[in-house]
Amino acid sequence: MLITMVQGGADPGRDGVADYTRHLVGALAGEGTRVEQVPVDGPARGVLRAARRIRELRPDVVHVQFAPSAFGFSPWPGLLPDLVGAPVVTTLHEYGWWAAPPRVPDAVWRALERTGRFDRETWRLAPAGAAAVTTNAGHAATLRERLGVEAALVPLAPNVPDLGRTQPREAVRRRLGVPEDAEVTAFFGFVHPVKGLRYLIEAVAGLRAAGRRRLHLLVLGGFTSLALPEGEARAFRDELTAWTRTCGVADHVSITGHLPAEEVSAALHASDLAAFPFTAGVTTKSGALLSAFAHGLPTIVTPADPPDPELVDGRTVVVAPRVRDPEVLRDALVRLLDDPALRGRVAAAGAALGAERTWPRIAERHRELYARVLGARGEPAHA
């Protein structure tokens, strides 16, 4: 079986979809599936070049990893089902918020979508594709409501799996500039204004002022991404660093920048809690959240709207019930810090939730989907 994996040209170190694709390609190859990656470089001409390359390869299945940001907010990849001469599977990493072009009235989009031939976000990918994949139930529900298309739900795996305790906890903390006896709350992932770190820093400052002198915040992750280009990323890091000084906790917040996976895993093992105070709330669509689960960390999240049914307060996570609120983050931190039984319970349930979300299992689910697509068309896979 030959799969062509179509993606934007982003660096996996700067983009979550590119990182996902790298992991998936590696896991598929590990199971013996041949995968040829085809980047889309640029808008219409880039799509035509990619389509030409795909036709040359004659794959069994074309798999598009779709997010508007991954293709530079160009809608032209949405025409690929009509250009490649092979069944197209599309993974919708983002869905339900975008339209191209955005100036078209909503009523016009709805009329087009009722025909089942065109979609405001993916153009022809979702309506004309052989299958759609979503990583969460919310995107699947939106796709069903809008187009009547039933997606295959294949959850994410951790961005950084548990790579084992290869280094003593004390040594890792010393290298990160964290006191050996600190109560360490870790944040992991791309650092961006919507991740709520200003509020988490303020919460840590409030608790330290109230007497929790061992509390330390560890921020693991790079700032530069597709969503935050280098100049803006540098400015935001400066802003966040200045905020730690304003809050009086500059010596109690360690900001590492981008780290290799081995170092992230070691740092998560050296932490006591994890916190993800995203301003739009948190779902299991977050590979960073799943990384915390994989490392057995009891975890605090802010609620999404609607809430993720798998993230249940006191069971799999502790939910800070409002976003952009340092006070509720302080309360959530205190709940976990003061209750060892709660920490153990949510850590165990989080780890159990993520146990089946491994890259080999995800690759297996994709192979099964490719086989169903080919079976439905009556086409055998190439040798």
Q: Along the chain (383 residues), what's the average pLDDT of each consecutive run of 10 residues?
A: 91 82 94 95 90 97 94 93 97 94 94 95 97 93 95 93 91 95 96 97 98 97 87 96 98 96 96 97 94 97 93 97 97 97 98 91 96 82 51
Claim to verify: residue 269 and residue 364 sit in the same structural domain: no
Is 174 in the same domain as 305? yes
Contact 254, 173 (CB under 8 A): no
Residue 10, both tokens: 């982003």
253 and 123, same structural domain? no
- Same domain (yes/no): 96, 234: no
> Would you list the DSSP string of 249-313?
-GGGEEE-BS--HHHHHHHHHT-SEEEE--TT-B-TT-HHHHHHHHTT--EEEPBPSSPPTT--B
The answer to whether residues 132 and 177 belong to one domain is no
Whether residue 185 is found in the same domain as residue 107: no
Element housing 198 (H / E) = helix 197-209
Looking at the domain assignment, is residue 147 inside a domain? yes
Q: What are phi and psi of 197, to 5 degrees?
A: -70, -30
The residue with tokens 């179509």 is 6
116 residue type, one letter: G
Domain membership of residue 163 (yes or no) is: no
For residues 71 and 66, give the distance between their C-alpha atoms in angstroms, rounded to a whole number. 8
CATH assignment at residue 183: 3.40.50.2000
Q: What was the pLDDT predicted at 244?
A: 98
pLDDT given for residue 251 in this prediction = 97
**pLDDT for the residue 352:** 95
- Give residue for tokens 């360490």: 184
- Same-domain status, 36 and 49: yes
CA–CA dist 35, 28 (Å, integer):
8
Residue 164 in domain: no
Q: Are residues 341 and 229 in the same domain?
A: yes
Total domain count for the chain?
2
Residue 67's domain comprises: 2-157+358-377
